[in-house]
Amino acid sequence: MAQGGLDRVVAGAVAGGVRWVVLREKDLPRAERAALAADLRAILAGVGGALVVAGPDPLGGDAVHLPAAGPYPPPIHTVVGRSCHDENELTRLTTEHYATISPIWQTKTKPGYGPPLGVAGLGSLVRASPVPLLALGGVETPEQVTACVKAGAAGVAVLGAIMRAQDPAEASASLTSAYVEAVTPVLTQTRRGVTQVPTSGLRPTVPTQGSSLIARSGRGRPQPPTATRERR
């Protein structure tokens, strides 16, 4: 549940360094969801950020995040992401620009969701993936962000740590600072010709600064407590 309204939380997250926001709220009427998407795009516009809409309908934009279940092949948009949870799902990727991989740790947002992949599992899937991976699930501390980057993740996706925070800007700044500190040596070494992360399939639409936020206000239908029926 967002503390104080979704637009306020997203504005705080952006102030703290978040540059990608994934809008869920799948159970809202389309008109209301489209209006919410427009509001969030306005917040992100000032920093050159991007709103990615969960589902095949981009709601007037050109960036979508699709579930592991489909559709396949994915629609053609400027940015297309996909939720994945294991190597088998990664092998189905074709023209997607990135994928989230989850859960890395146990998550308060979806109790019982798992089993967690852990940092070792994340690293293994990074090496197997044809596209950049964003680590998702239970990422709540700067130390966890650092561990994900060191395992090869192109970024992290965060929900509860920001959405439940009393100060979303402060929470976001702490996480994004950890990301920048962790990724800077990797980028520096890569530019020197020493590649520390897999480059196969890397595409420029994946953010290189800041973390991403999965935005959900709680106004729609409550999400299921486990991922046994619908995976993000």
Domain boundaries, the chain: 6-195+205-215
CATH of domain 6-195+205-215: 3.20.20.70
Question: Once rounded to an integer, what is the mean pLDDT over residues 32-47?
Answer: 96
Is the pLDDT higher at 214 or at 52? 52
Q: What is the pLDDT, as a whole number, of residue 189?
A: 57
Q: What is the pLDDT, as a whole number, of residue 33?
A: 96
pLDDT band (50, 70, 90) for residue 167: very high
Q: What is the pLDDT, as a whole number, of residue 216?
A: 52
pLDDT band (50, 70, 90) for residue 113: confident
Q: Does residue 227 register a pLDDT over 60?
A: no
Q: What is the pLDDT, as a whole number, of residue 188?
A: 56
The pTM (predicted TM-score) of the whole model is 0.81
Q: Does residue 194 register a pLDDT over 60?
A: no
Taking each helix axis from N to C terminus, what angle separates 6-15 and 30-45, rounded to the nearest 10 degrees?
20
Q: What is the pLDDT, as a whole number, of residue 109?
A: 75
